[in-house]
Structure 1
Amino acid sequence: MKIPDLTNYENLIGGICGGATSTALCHPFDLLKTRFSANEGHPLRPQYTSYADAVRRIVRVEGVRGLYQGWTPGLIGASLSWGLYFQWYNSLSTKINEGFSTGSEFANNLISGFIAGSAIMCITNPIWLTKTRLCLQYENQASKKYTGMIDCMRKTVQQEGFFGLYRGFVTGVIGTTHGAVQIAAYGWIKDTISEARGVPKESFSKQTDIMFASSTSKIIATTVTFPYQVLRTRMQDHNSNSRGVLQTTLKTIRNEGVTGLWKGCFIANFRQLPAAVITFLTYENVKQLVALTKE
């Protein structure tokens, strides 16, 4: 049986595979990042002394399964987000570079990344909200408010209305600058390496180069834009009454100082670095496999 030509969807397929693979392997790090980012010192939360202490206490009460709370919406959200992001980003960047160029390819790519990310956030915000809330169901609580992704969505709509699913949406849109910085930096690093070696950009396929480009771009993007992740986590947390972006920002700075906006940044880099490498390695290699369908 002849395999149909799927090259028009190589970015979509590669992104879905990359997002799914990284989430399957790295979700426990994401859970820890979410918990440390949300922790403003409230007594209802377990006060972990370290990341190792958090793992030990979660596993003691809930087993290894406790490290995978929120895994289902995380898997769906990452697969959908990365698939659509790579597909729409590449389409937009081609159109902008050809017809509406700012004169800088890096700036064009930033714009493409921001537009693609904002559009995707309109679709995926409810999924990320449920992931956050499931991750913030602690082992020291007598009972869990949500039994799963669908139950969380249903109860959120019942108690907060449909737009309750879009808590943290503004910070999510602001956070699309993270993806824009990452993808633009990744593209710039790829182009720089290819140019230094005197090879076409399309031939960028050396595994070590992909690892270097993806890890470097991720560290830059995560560190520079991390405050939005703290604010978004706290606004989506069902255990607190945080509402607006400004209110949450001022409250965090007042109680924890400016460094409170980077709470969880270390574990975020620790978690997101392997996730980014896995995502981009999978994406680039799946793209090459999909390209074979043209033959």
Structure 2
Amino acid sequence: MSTLKSSNTNPGTIGNQNNFIDHVHYEHLIAGISGGVVSSLILQPLDLLKIRFEVNNEFNYNPKYKGIIDGLTTIFKEEGIKGLYRGAVPSIVGSGVSWGMYFYFYSALKTLKQNGNKDNHLTSTQLLVAASEAGAMTLILTNPIWVCKTRLCLQSQNQSSHIVSYNGMIDTLVKLYKMEGIRGWYRGFIPGLFGVSHGAIQFMIYEQMKSVYSRHNDLPLSSKLGVAEYLTFAAGSKSIAVCITYPYQVVRARLQNQFYSFDGVWDCVKKAWVFEGWKGFYRGLGTNLLRVVPATMITFVTYENVSHSLISFKE
């Protein structure tokens, strides 16, 4: 894909902005946090159910649910509204921090590759690299939050008494560290790194959709688009990325599960294949799509509008 440069670009200015720090702006951090928090608040019950479906297999986690409606109604009957929002605090914190840091790093890395000109169109490879780098940096900072969220979401009132119980996010982090050390905070980190490809694919497709739309309508790449465009691009890019990379999420959730212990990533993959076949790697996919596609739409629309507003206000 050819590179387009805006006619009003000042080469001297771009030449002086050739390092990562020059392109780090708080507006993207705030906008990303806003999008992550809003979407997480709205869709937490589906996120909870998705995690329980992921670890719901032939040899460990109970209770078992027959489907999305049965799962939500059963949780509500047995655990009340509080049950539907188990793990909500680390979910909201994790989602807000993850999206905030991701957009924060990604926007800087992308602008760096654009040589400071936000209207330059990048190739698919450049977008994949920028998104992968941002994803890896974000995962290192947020993995303990996701382990905490998984442990809290998997708790239920009818679990065995010998299973460790957690009372909130801080209690979970402390108990994890005392019982498992730093390694406990980073359970599922390796498949999480594979998951970086998920974000990379999603952002690459999302950015290319925006690029094609901008070219077709003769608009600068940095132009603010309408809500309908952002919703369409977010839904399309997320759906494709989820279908391609979903198995890693199942493996990651099972490694973080406190009810069963696997001897590493390969052991988890092998047992899932032996006992469940390929379908085992797609448990909870329907619930996940039902949750993450609207979540991504909400996140991206919120991010794009908040970031454009903050940048316009600053300018």
TM-score (norm. length: structure 1): 0.93
Output one character per residue of 1:88-125: Cα deviation in whole Å (capped at 9) or x when no partner. 111112223449xxx96111111111111111111110
Output one character per residue of 1:125-173: Cα deviation in whole Å (capped at 9) or x when no partner. 0000000010011242266711111111111111112221101000111
Quick one: distance in 1 between partners of 2:291 and 2:182? 31
Q: How does 1:132-211 map to 2 (within 5 A)?
A: 132-141=150-159, 145-211=165-231
Quick one: distance in 2 between partners of 1:219 and 1:80? 23
1:45 aligns with 2:62: yes
User: Could you say which residue in structure 2 is the equivalent of 1:12?
Assistant: 29
1:31 aligns with 2:48: yes
Preserved CA contact (<8 Å) 1:97 1:105: no
Quick one: distance in 2 between partners of 1:8 and 1:252? 43
1:57 aligns with 2:77: no
Quick one: distance in 2 between partners of 1:254 and 1:98? 50
Quick one: distance in 2 between partners of 1:142 and 1:66? 17
Deviation at residue 248 of structure 1 after TM alignment = 0.7
User: Equivalent residue of 2:260, what SS?
Assistant: coil
User: Could you say which residue in structure 2 is the equivalent of 1:111?
Assistant: 129
Q: Which amino acid aligns with 2:87?
A: G
- Greater relative contact order, per chain length (Cα 8 Å cut-off, separation 6+): 1
Q: How does 1:66-145 map to 2 (within 5 A)?
A: 66-98=83-115, 105-141=123-159, 145=165
Quick one: distance in 2 between partners of 1:95 and 1:286? 22
Quick one: distance in 1 between partners of 2:61 and 2:242? 28
Structure 1 runs (4+) greater than 4 angstroms displaced = none
User: Could you say which residue in structure 2 is the equivalent of 1:4?
Assistant: none
1:226 aligns with 2:246: yes
Q: Which amino acid aligns with 2:148?
A: T
Preserved CA contact (<8 Å) 2:60 2:259: no
Output one character per residue of 1:35-56: Cα deviation in whole Å (capped at 9) or x when no partner. 1011113365012111111111
Preserved CA contact (<8 Å) 1:113 1:180: yes
Larger radius of gyration: 2
User: Equivalent residue of 1:257, what SS?
Assistant: helix
> Larger deviation: 88-97 or 270-279?
88-97
Quick one: distance in 2 between partners of 1:137 and 1:294? 45
User: Equivalent residue of 1:63, what SS?
Assistant: helix
Structure 1 unmatched runs, 5+: 1-6
**Identity fraction in percent:** 39
RMSD: 1.8
1:270 aligns with 2:290: yes
Q: Which amino acid aligns with 2:110?
A: S
Output one character per residue of 1:48-89: Cα deviation in whole Å (capped at 9) or x when no partner. 111111111111111111111001001111111111111111
User: Equivalent residue of 1:202, what SS?
Assistant: coil
- Indicate the structure with greater helix content: 1
Preserved CA contact (<8 Å) 1:19 1:78: yes
* Count of aligned pairs between the two proteins: 286
Output one character per residue of 1:240-272: Cα deviation in whole Å (capped at 9) or x when no partner. 102411111111011000121111111111100
Q: Which amino acid aligns with 1:253?
A: W
User: Equivalent residue of 1:146, what SS?
Assistant: coil
Deviation at residue 177 of structure 1 after TM alignment = 0.7
Structure 2 unmatched runs, 5+: 1-23
Quick one: distance in 2 between partners of 1:51 and 1:294? 45
TM-score (norm. length: structure 2): 0.87
